Amino acid sequence: MQKQDVARLFTTPVDAPAYAPTRYQFTNREYLNIYYRTDPEALRRLVPEPLTVTNPIVRFEIMRMPDVTGLGDYTEAGQLIAVEHEGEAGEFNLAMYVDSVPAISSGREYSAYPKKGGSPSLYVDSDTLVGTLDYGTLRVATATMGYKHHAMNLDEARAEICSPAFMVKTVPNYDGTPRICELVRTQVTNATIKSAFTGPARLELFAHAIAPLADLPVLEVVGASHILTDLTLNPVEPVYDYLAA
């Protein structure tokens, strides 16, 4: 392999890349979103400056993704925190638990998604939409929602999916010192909402040392949505450099 070929590598291994070098398009991406009020002090300990917490609301999400270009079929779950940055409302992506190694690799390496391994699922149980998250052999989250009780306004559903998302991107030097440490922003701008519903919902979180979702306790469920969409992810852009600061 020539030097110029090495410089053009998208990722490694050199003979079998860990993920496909493509822009990821999602067909029939299915969301279960549970919005809940939590302890504002717990949020302030986790949300990095210059983001600010204006409303102590967390979104627990399960995303079922059966058809993704380059990545195939997988499921994710995670927590996002309502924040503001320079007057813009959005969400801080705290953690994502994913059952696909290529999706974890591409999300962390190519972008800035805070992904780690987990076993989420989303399915219909009689008249109930059920989302679960296991870490190892232990259950750490169970979400339930009445199945398609009330149709949502599609513009409101699109606003949920297209909310700006902020994440922390870190890459260390070989000696362990930071090479990159940035706050980045991304936003879905190309989304087709196929259906959207709301209904009664509940969320139960279980304490776990390595998957600490319950550190943001559920004080009150304030909303829920079940959304089916086609969308394309956009690249991230840095909005704050912690090393320069």
Active site residues: 115
CA angle 49, 191, 116 (to 5 degrees): 50
Q: Which of helix, strand or coil describes residue 201?
A: strand
**Edge-to-edge order in the sheet of strand 201-205:** 119-125, 128-135, 138-146, 201-205
Are the C-beta atoms of residues 192 and 228 closer than 8 Å to each other?
no
Structure tokens belonging to residue 29:
């991406």
Are the C-beta atoms of residues 3 and 203 closer than 8 Å to each other?
no
Q: What is the dihedral of CA 25, 26, 32, 37, to 10 degrees?
A: 0
Structure tokens belonging to residue 201:
């919902």
Helices in the chain by DSSP H: which ranges? Answer: 3-7, 40-46, 101-105, 154-161
**H or E stretch at 141:** strand 138-146
Cα–Cα distance, 194 to 42 (Å, whole number)? 36
